[in-house]
Chain A
Amino acid sequence: MNSRIEYWVKIPIGPIHPALEEPEKFIITLDGERIINVDVKLGYNLRGLEWIAMRRNYIQLMYLAERICGICSFSHNHTYTRAVEEMAGIEVPERAEYIRVIVGELERIHSHLLNLGVIGHAIGYDTVLHMSWLARERVMDILEAIGGNRVNYAMNTIGGVRRDIEEKQKRAILDMIEYYRKEIMPKIEEIFLYDPTVEARLRDAGVIPKRIAIEYSAQGPTARGSGVKKDVRYNEKLGVYPDLGIKPISPKEFTGVIKGDVFDRMVVRVGELWQSMELIERAFDQMPEGKIKAFAKDNLILLKLKKADGEGIGRYEAPRGEVIHYVRANPGKDIPSKWKAREPTFPNLFAVARALVGEQVADIPVAIASIDPCLSCTDRVAVIDVRTGKREILTEKDLLKASIEKTREINPNASAEPGVVGIGCPRGGLL
């Protein structure tokens, strides 16, 4: 009787749990405090958006895209309009691009301040939560002044933006930047770069090494915190961003090391707050006068899009990572035949689930919060057999098999041997 008895416990984190802001489920196998395995279950926030989209025209879809998620409402809207513009070959006026940059960066500031507070809450440091959310009120007020709404500001339209930024609003934004530079950013740096409690809890917690970040295709601050130089605004020379001197933030600029832990992801977010403020200021300096939209009226857009054919892909760096929207036209109709969105949370979630193995229970809330998960964005796909009502979950294995079959069907002469990149999805098992 000298063999070690292993006492493993499976505990569910979610769908409803104090650590989570939105319903998702992690089934965690524990050996005492040590995590043995993490299983992710998604689909608790499925609202059937793509099904709703099948009966919406291009203009109505803009509003639907905006309501995918409350925090990155501008990002989804922006990405969708980019996809449609690429599909129909619509030129966007330069001033509109600059206004998109300004609103997008304001949204990034509010999203990152929110996430910094959530991280404070996850380690039981509630003062950080209350103070950073108090600071966030200022940028929310600005967004309300520009768009008329705190959350869904509906700035974009296909071929431009709906509202101009006036002199009064410009002054308010510059005042806000001044306030953040003087009052808020020193405090935020004090907490997230130098506070001993925060460093003790965030350092070496939920480490995603660079290799895992690349294999799981982590996005946004999660990838940049692991040392991957990945930022769509920089890599894809998106819109007018190259003129504004964008470059991916690396935690090395602040702390000198890249470890890929929660601390580094937070450092990236602090760096992006500084960067966003600079981008807004430069955008105001360089912004030309002129038109703000390509079409005077919305029905002209629909008229143009009815004639469009082909497909378009929009990419944009949302606060959480890269958002991709895919739109395929349906010639002769004002309803696209296919609209699909891919959110950064989906790859990030599996990367962080992988990173949690071997860590402690205490790291679960902070590691999950560090990727800033947005489940209302992620949960859109479920396969349900209508005749039997049976719900089927497709694993990576099934999807890969299906896509190989499809490739063979389209191109029987395909010579490349398809395979899994990296170690594959933890849920699908190894091929």
Chain B
Amino acid sequence: MNIIYATLGLIGLYIYVSFASLLWEGLDRKLVARMQRRIGPPLLQPFYDFLKLVSKESIIPRHAGRMFELAPVFTLAVSIALLAYTPIGFAPLFSTKGDVIVFIYLLTLIAFIRVLGAINSGSPYAQIGAQREIIILVSREVPMMLGLFAILWRLSKLGVSRPFSLATFYEHNIWEIGTPLTFMGAILLLFVFLAWLASEIEVGYFNIPEAEEEIAEGPMAEYSGRHLALFKLSNALKEFISASLVVAIFFPWGISGLVGLTGAGAMIADLIFHTIKVFMVLFASMSIFRAVTGRLRITQAVQVFWLRMLPAAIIGVLLIAIDVLEVIA
């Protein structure tokens, strides 16, 4: 019985997050337009775009392989599967011991399938975009995983029911430890995670794989119609999910306890409050970031991660772990 409820919950969640993430796309475009002294498109423009793309013919290049058509379907399928392991104001629906591994695996798989689809499209622009995507994927995951595992390990020392599960964040959070060193470490890791988020959703400095002016949308160069619509939707879902991770780690507080709700009502209130927090994180890491920066070269972006973010993550992790390690009294 339990699995049926969870599955129904996942379908409901998928529908809700699809709307929320497409609404955020519209909000983001409007906000950035305002920062650039433009009027911007209507708030619901991403919905119109999606509906129009779905109704249009999809052109398959002559040299495209089988993966070209399958990649959009797989990406959306993986995004929906990922929703089951995403912390969304409460513990993930299919939360288990060690589900953080599944979360990172599925998140990386989305980028990987995109690359497979791009390579199979036979377009030289998509090839370059795919190369760039893989290079930046390899660079950005290292500091993020280091920070994520260190935080989970530190929280498991406080005593949690299921260590290395994303549900941990709703039992204890990083700010609870309270020593000045962990506070500083957490602030440092917050910056690392915001940079990772910006690169995961490819904005600002890290809009490199899809650089429009250089390689004409890179991996998306040959996609059109229905296939492109599926990619747009899964990209929007990915934005929401990636930001959800940052929110869960650093701002996990719910609202249901304060207003005294329980049961299904509490879950809905927490979900809506979580959505607002996700929008705020995305506003900092996406809208503002892409309004005040340009795109870096791929070599510079890799340097940002290996020479700036990785040392920052190491220092942050050491600061968080230092009182458990008992090197200082």
B111 at the interface (CB under 8 A from A): no
Task: Decide if B128 touches A33 in the complex (CB within 8 Å).
Answer: yes
Contacts of B293 in A (CB 8 A): 125, 197
Interface-located stretch among B10-18, B43-51, B258-266, B296-304: B296-304
Nearest chain B CB to A179's CB is how many angstroms away? 16
Contacts of B297 in A (CB 8 A): 200-201, 360, 362-363
B323 at the interface (CB under 8 A from A): no
- CB-based nearest A residue for B295: A124
Q: Which of A121, A130, A200 contacts B296 (CB 8 A)?
A: A200
Chain A residues 319-363 with CB under 8 Å of chain B are: 360-363
For the residues of B in contact with A, the DSSP-based class is helix
A384 at the interface (CB under 8 A from B): no
Task: Decide if A32 touches B213 in the complex (CB within 8 Å).
Answer: no
- CB-based nearest B residue for A369: B213
Contacts of B257 in A (CB 8 A): none
Contacts of A198 in B (CB 8 A): 294
Contacts of B295 in A (CB 8 A): 123-125, 201, 362
B216 at the interface (CB under 8 A from A): yes
Task: Decide if B291 touches A18 in the complex (CB within 8 Å).
Answer: no
Chain A residues 93-131 with CB under 8 Å of chain B are: 120-128, 130-131
A46 at the interface (CB under 8 A from B): no
Task: Decide if A125 touches B214 in the complex (CB within 8 Å).
Answer: no
Q: A124-B294, A197-B205 are in contact. Are A11 and B125 (CB under 8 A)?
A: yes
- CB-based nearest A residue for B128: A361
Report how far A365 CA is from B211 CA in the complex, Å. 11
Q: A122-B213, A124-B207 are in contact. Are A362 and B38 (CB under 8 A)?
A: no
Contacts of A126 in B (CB 8 A): 36
Q: Which of B132, B208, B214 contacts A19 (CB 8 A)?
A: B214
Q: A123-B294, A127-B292, A197-B296 are in contact. Are A365 and B36 (CB under 8 A)?
A: no
Report how far A370 CA is from B18 CA in the complex, Å. 41
Query: Most B CB atoms within 10 A — which of A128, A198, A360?
Result: A360
For chain A, the count of residues having a C-beta within 8 Å of the partner chain is 31
Task: Decide if A130 touches B36 in the complex (CB within 8 Å).
Answer: yes
A30 at the interface (CB under 8 A from B): yes
Report how far A126 CA is from B131 CA in the complex, Å. 25
Contacts of B291 in A (CB 8 A): 127
Task: Decide if A361 touches B214 in the complex (CB within 8 Å).
Answer: yes
- CB-based nearest B residue for A121: B213
Contacts of A382 in B (CB 8 A): none
Report how far A365 CA is from B292 CA in the complex, Å. 20
Task: Decide if A200 touches B216 in the complex (CB within 8 Å).
Answer: no
Contacts of A303 in B (CB 8 A): none
- CB-based nearest A residue for B293: A197
Task: Decide if A201 touches B36 in the complex (CB within 8 Å).
Answer: no
Contacts of B127 in A (CB 8 A): 9
A17 at the interface (CB under 8 A from B): yes
Task: Decide if A18 touches B216 in the complex (CB within 8 Å).
Answer: yes
Task: Decide if B211 touches A124 in the complex (CB within 8 Å).
Answer: yes
B35 at the interface (CB under 8 A from A): yes
Contacts of A362 in B (CB 8 A): 208, 211, 214, 295, 297-298
- CB-based nearest B residue for A366: B213
Binary contact readout A178-199 vs B (1 if CB under 8 angstroms, 0 otherwise): 0000000000000000000110
Nearest chain A CB to B69's CB is how many angstroms away? 24
Nearest chain A CB to B11's CB is how many angstroms away? 37
Task: Decide if B131 touches A365 in the complex (CB within 8 Å).
Answer: no
Nearest chain A CB to B204's CB is how many angstroms away? 8
Task: Decide if A17 touches B216 in the complex (CB within 8 Å).
Answer: yes
Task: Decide if B213 touches A365 in the complex (CB within 8 Å).
Answer: yes
Report how far A38 CA is from B317 CA in the complex, Å. 47
B20 at the interface (CB under 8 A from A): no
A142 at the interface (CB under 8 A from B): no
Task: Decide if B212 touches A200 in the complex (CB within 8 Å).
Answer: no
- CB-based nearest B residue for A30: B128
Task: Decide if A360 touches B36 in the complex (CB within 8 Å).
Answer: no
A267 at the interface (CB under 8 A from B): no
A40 at the interface (CB under 8 A from B): no
Binary contact readout A361-376 vs B (1 if CB under 8 angstroms, 0 otherwise): 1111100000000000
Task: Decide if A127 touches B36 in the complex (CB within 8 Å).
Answer: yes
Contacts of B296 in A (CB 8 A): 197, 200-201
Nearest chain B CB to A170's CB is how many angstroms away? 29
Q: Which of A18, A30, A124, A360 contacts B299 (CB 8 A)?
A: A360
- CB-based nearest B residue for A364: B214
Contacts of A10 in B (CB 8 A): 124
B63 at the interface (CB under 8 A from A): no
Nearest chain A CB to B63's CB is how many angstroms away? 14
Nearest chain B CB to A37's CB is how many angstroms away? 15
Chain A residues 8-39 with CB under 8 Å of chain B are: 9-11, 17-19, 30, 32-33
B215 at the interface (CB under 8 A from A): yes
- CB-based nearest B residue for A129: B36
Q: Which of B35, B211, B214, B300 contacts A200 (CB 8 A)?
A: B300
Report how far A10 CA is from B127 CA in the complex, Å. 12
Binary contact readout B273-316 vs A (1 if CB under 8 angstroms, 0 otherwise): 00000000000000000011111111110000000000000000
**Sample of 14 A–B contacts (CB below 8 Å):** A9-B128, A10-B124, A19-B214, A33-B132, A127-B35, A127-B36, A130-B36, A130-B38, A197-B296, A361-B128, A361-B215, A362-B214, A362-B295, A362-B298
Given pairs A127-B291, A197-B296, A363-B297, 20 additional interface contacts (CB within 8 A): A9-B128, A18-B213, A33-B132, A121-B213, A122-B213, A123-B294, A124-B295, A125-B295, A127-B35, A127-B292, A134-B37, A197-B294, A198-B294, A201-B295, A201-B296, A360-B297, A361-B214, A362-B208, A362-B211, A365-B214
Q: Which residues of A contact B (CB under 8 A)?
A: 9-11, 17-19, 30, 32-33, 120-128, 130-131, 134, 197-198, 200-201, 360-365
Q: Which residues of B contact A (CB under 8 A)?
A: 35-38, 124-125, 127-128, 131-132, 205, 207-208, 211-216, 291-300
User: What 10 A-B pairs are tightest by C-beta distance, nearest first?
Assistant: A125-B294, A124-B295, A123-B294, A130-B36, A11-B124, A365-B213, A362-B297, A19-B213, A197-B294, A124-B294
